[in-house]
Amino acid sequence: MLFELTEEQLMIQTMVRDFAQEVVLSTAMERDRTKEFPAENLRKMAELGLMGMMVSPEYNGAGADTVSYVLALQEIAYACASTAVVMSVQNSVVCETIDRFGTEEQKQNYLKPLAAGEVIGAFAMTEPHAGSDPVSQSTWAKRDRDHYIINGTKRFITSGKNAGITIVTAKTDKTKRHKGISAFIVRKGTPGFSVGKTEEKMGLCASDTTDLVFEDCRVPAEDLLGQEGDGFKIAMTALDGGRIGIAAQSLGVAQAALDAAASYSKEREQFGQPIAKFQGLRWMLADMATELEAARQLTFFAAANKDSGKKYTMQASMAKLFASEMVNDVTAKALQIHGGYGYTKEYAVERYYRDARVFTIYEGTSEIQRVVIANHLLGDRYVGTLR
């Protein structure tokens, strides 16, 4: 690493590693099969301060930095990627967003229970016809005296079914592009707000992904986040932090796959010797470890940039792009090293391979990360790294 971890960061890493290995890992395979939401584990994680890590203690958070958050998220993802995505969305795109853009009243009412882990949070921007291009969203909100009335459908919402508090974007002015989008905080149980279909997915099976439906849903005007028209910038800022989270999740799953492949290759014998003796496999493992280390450097670099108050949009996109592509390669190679057994549910690599597939898709596809990076590189938004 380019920098040394502090005593506190090392302590957090050890604490979360022990917890993840003892509590989260043992039931991960079963959870993948039953698709059961890890409510009990999330409750225990809340006790450890993992659900509002970067929020200040004043609002029930742990007051940790982003580097510590990356360390913690890696450990949870190593054990169970489904649990990690719930943690990532809660910490990055939900808690940090209300912390940064919320009013004091919103922080008291929403951030406090979220950061304490008493309530699960969701972030709803994507729609059936607006994924990579959220400006084209059609959910809209109309002011009606001291309320807004929201109508529309959101899609692919992580924790949609389990969330008690959701940040939702909607157009408040259809004549404006991104400047016509606003963000609202909506509570579960608000009349006109319901959970639609739940997706059947290839991976991250214990994390629910749902539609959210708004039919004349009346939200108090004080639950507007920021000002009218701020919604797109709020969402983009949220995603900058979120993308570091997905990079961290990728590191955790890749490390688990690499460890599994290395240990299997030492045990499995063919042609009279452990398959780890064959140069073809040794090189494969060496490439996996190198890619993983490179992704780790990029991710910690983005996190450290964020912690030091520097711009980090491009670094977050680079980390997310590289780490999510890396984990797809590493899990595919880990499965290959396991041969036929890797294709069975007996070995965890099969799950790692399925879970990792969405990492290059959600919170901005790899193609969108390249758009963000190229925009910085070619425009006046370019911020160099060590130069």
Report the C-alpha dihedral over residues 275, 276, 282, 284, rounded to 10 degrees: 60
Query: Least distance from C-beta 90 to ligand CAA, angstroms?
Result: 11
Find the binder of ligand CAA among 27, 82, 158, 210 (CB under 6 A). Answer: 158
Residue 287's alpha-carbon distances to 73, 117, 185, 290, 294, in angstroms, are 24, 39, 44, 5, 11
Q: Just list the catalytic residues.
A: 363
With contacts defined by CB under 6 A, name the span among 63-71, 125-133, 196-204, 320-328 that binds ligand CAA: 125-133
Q: In the complex with ligand CAA, which residue's Cβ is closer, 291 or 363?
A: 363
Side-chain-side CA neighbours of residue 255 (13 Å): 21
Task: Answer yes or no whether residue 205 interacts with ligand CAA by CB under 6 A.
Answer: no
Query: Least distance from C-beta 126 to ligand CAA, angstroms?
Result: 5
List the structure tokens of 296: 């780790």
What pairs with residue 144 in β-bridges?
147
Q: How many residues bind ligand CAA (CB under 6 A)?
A: 24
Question: How many other CB atoms are there within 10 angstroms of residue 130's CB atom?
Answer: 18
Q: Tell me how many degrees the CA angle 20-348-24 measures, rounded to the nearest 5.
A: 15
Is residue 251 a contact partner of residue 88, using CB atoms and an 8 Å limit?
Answer: no
Task: Answer yes or no whether residue 132 interacts with ligand CAA by CB under 6 A.
Answer: yes
Site mask, ligand CAA, residues 319-358, x = CB under 6 A? ----------------------------------------
Side-chain-side CA neighbours of residue 93 (13 Å): 35
Task: Answer yes or no whether residue 383 interacts with ligand CAA by CB under 6 A.
Answer: no
Task: Answer yes or no whether residue 265 interacts with ligand CAA by CB under 6 A.
Answer: no
Q: In the complex with ligand CAA, which residue's Cβ is closer, 242 or 342?
A: 242
List residues near ligand CAA by CB under 6 A: 89, 123, 125-126, 132-135, 157-158, 178, 232-233, 236-237, 239-240, 313, 362-364, 368, 371-372
